[in-house]
Amino acid sequence: MSLLVKGMKRQMTVKEPFDFGAAYMSLALDIVSQYCYGEQDCWNCLEEPGFSEDWQTAMINAFESSRLIRYIPWAAAPLQHIKWQWLYAIDKTVGLYFKAGEVS
């Protein structure tokens, strides 16, 4: 919770609209990733500027594009052999998806 408050204070200094959706999604992602993967592999979304808005966009886009994977499931298999950083450079949503799948 202290990281959430710290991030809110940091966001106030930027003088941009505060995105509660990104803040709470980052909190949830940090809690789940720390619980599942341990403190070392926590994604630390709360510490990123803008509460890691990339993750919020990726989650929304993932749900929107889930129909494609549903009807063409084999499309994801070749992408598993490419580093997630390269995929992220091409398409943030796909890169973040494979980054999440890489942690084990």
Highest mean pLDDT among 10-19, 27-36, 55-64, 70-79: 27-36
Integer-rounded Cα radius of gyration of the chain: 15
pTM: 0.58
**Rounded-to-integer distance, Cα 18 and Cα 62, Å:** 23
15-56 pLDDT, tens digit per residue, is 778 888 888 888 888 898 889 888 888 888 888 877 877 777
| Amino acid of residue 60 | I
Instruction: For 9-58, list the strands marked E by DSSP.
Output: none
What residues contact 53, with CB distance under 8 A and at least 6 apart?
A: 19, 22
C-beta of residue 66 within 8 angstroms of C-beta of residue 51: no
Q: Terminus-to-terminus CA distance in the chain, angstroms?
A: 26
